[in-house]
Amino acid sequence: MKRLVSGIKPTGEFTLGNYIGAIKQFVEMQKDYESFVFVADLHALTVYNDPEVLRTRIRELIGIYLACGLDPKHTTLFVQSENLFHANLSWVLECNSYVGELSRMTQFKDKSKNKGNESISCGLFTYPALMAADILMYDADVVPVGVDQKQHVELARNIAERFNNRYGKTFKVPDPMIPEAGAKIYDLQNPTKKMSKTDESGKGCIMLLEDPSVARKKIMSAVTDSESKVYYDKENKPGISNLLVIYSLLEHISIEEATQKFGESNYGSFKTAVADSVEKFLVELQAKYNEIVESGLIDEVLDASNKKVRKIAEEKVLDVFKKVGVGRY
C-alpha cells in the first residue's frame, strides 16, 4: 500500500477551510493509503506562541482529526514533537539544503516581508527542511497539501534526490497532491481572499469548534452580489460560488446538482440551506469531538502510535547517520 504523510500546524483556531482543504482529503484517502497524519507542533515554534495555548491546540487538533473521521485503524495519528527523531533528521537535511533555495520559498518571503532580520527567527527560514524531514522520514508516496505548500513538497523532493545522489538511495521521492480547485474556501466577507483563522473581524471565517448558531449567522450575512440567481461563476459571483462549494462539499453532491436545486431560489432561501448544512455539520462534529475528549481516546491513540512512529523514524535516522558518517553506527 502506498503511503500518505501530511500535517497541520496547531496555531490559531481550526477552520472550515482546514476541514475542506485538508482533513476531508485525509479522511477520503485513508482507506487507499497507509496514512501518517500529524500535528506539526514543532513548526508552530517558528513564531512565538503562548505555551499553554499551544498545548491546548495540539490536543484539540487530534480531537478534531478523530471527530472528522480519521480512523486509527487506517491512519497513524501522532504529535510531531513526541517523535524526537524529526529534529535529528531535520538537521541533516538542513545541512543538505542551500540558503539560495530556502530564500526562494514564497511563504518565507511573504512572512518575512516588512520585518527586519533581527525579528525573523532562523526557524522560519529553515522550516522547509523540517517539513522535508517529516515527509522523507516515512518514505511518503503522496503528500496532500494546499497549493501554498506545494513548493515545500517540491523542495523535499529536491533534497531527497540530492541526498540519494550523494550518499546512496535512502529516501523515497514524494509527490505533492493538491486538492481540486473547488476545495479552496474563501472568506465569507471578502470572497476573493482565502478563509483563514487570521481573519480579523472573525465574521468571514467559520471555526470548527465555534457555537453553531454563530456560524449560522456568519453564513446568513455572507457577502454576495446584486443579481439574484444562484449559479457558479468564480470571477463575477465569488460569494455565491463560495457558498455553492461549501454546500456541495458538505452535502456530498456536485456543484451542478447544487445549482439545479437552487438556481431559481432567491439568495435568502439559498443561504438558509447553506446555513442549515453548516450548522448541522458543526453540531454533529462537536458532539463527536466532545465524546472523544471525554473518553480518553486522544491519549490512547497517541500512546499507541508513538511506539510505531518512533520505530520507523529511529531506523531511518540511524541509516542516515551511518550514511553521512556520524556516530558509531
The footprint of ligand AMP on this chain (CB under 6 A) covers a number of residues equal to: 18
Q: Which run of H or E residues covers position 325?
A: none
Residue 146 engages ligand AMP in binding (rule: CB under 6 A): yes
Q: Does 258 bind ligand AMP (CB under 6 A)?
A: no
Q: Contact between 89 and ligand TRP (CB under 6 A)?
A: no
**Candidates 184, 194, 271, 316; catalytic one:** 194
Whichever of 92 and 153 has its CB closer to ligand AMP, that residue is 153
SS3 category, 121:
coil
Among 4, 5, 10, 22, interactor with ligand AMP by CB under 6 A: 22
Q: Minimum distance between the CB of residue 41 and ligand AMP, rounded to whole angstroms? A: 12
Active-site entry in 111, 203, 261, 323: 111
Closer to ligand AMP by Cβ: residue 209 or 324: 209
**Minimum distance from CB of 25 to ligand AMP (Å)?**
8
Number of helices (H), then strands (E), belonging to the chain: the values are 14, 5
**246 part of the interface to ligand TRP, by CB under 6 A:** no
18 is an interface residue for ligand AMP by CB under 6 A: yes
User: Strands of 142-144's sheet, edge to edge?
Assistant: 75-79, 34-39, 3-8, 142-144, 175-177
Determine which residue in the list 4, 5, 20, 285 makes contact with ligand AMP, applying CB under 6 A. Answer: 20
* Residue 111 annotated as catalytic: yes
Mention every residue, 6+ apart, whose C-beta is less than 8 A from residue 60.
10, 14, 209
Q: Which helix (H) or strand (E) holds 98?
A: none
Q: Does 140 engage in binding with ligand AMP (CB under 6 A)?
A: no
Distances (CA, A) of 280 to 42, 156, 205, 207, 306: 34, 39, 17, 14, 34
Contacts of residue 62, Cβ cutoff 8 Å, sequence gap at least 6: 39, 77, 79, 298, 301, 302
Residue 83 touching ligand TRP (CB under 6 A): no
Task: Report d(CA 214, CA 219) in Å as an integer.
Answer: 9
Distance set, CA 9 to CA 37, 75, 201, 291 (Å):
11, 18, 22, 23
**Residue 145 or 230 with smaller CB distance to ligand TRP:** 145
**Binding of residue 238 to ligand AMP (CB under 6 A):** no
24 binding ligand AMP? (CB under 6 A): no
For 75, 132, 137, 141, the CA distances from 33, given in Å and listed in that order, are 9, 19, 16, 9
Task: Tell whether residue 188 is a contact of ligand AMP (CB under 6 A).
Answer: no
Q: Does the footprint of ligand AMP cover residue 184 (CB under 6 A)?
A: yes
Alpha carbons 5 and 32: distance in angstroms, whole number: 13
User: Does 197 qualify as catalytic in the annotation?
Assistant: yes
List beta partners, residue 35. 4, 75
Residue 188 near which of ligand TRP, ligand AMP, none (CB within 5-8 Å, type-dependent)? none
Nearest distance from C-beta of residue 168 to ligand TRP, angstroms: 24
Instruction: Name the minimum Å distance from CB 164 to ligand TRP.
Output: 19
Q: Which helix (H) or strand (E) holds 132?
A: helix 122-137
Q: Under rule CB under 6 A, which residues in 143-172 are in contact with ligand TRP?
A: 143, 145, 149
Active site residues: 111, 194, 197
Give the binding site for ligand TRP (CB under 6 A): 5-9, 40, 43, 131, 134-135, 143, 145, 149
Give the binding site for ligand AMP (CB under 6 A): 8-9, 15, 17-18, 20-22, 145-146, 148-149, 183-185, 194-196
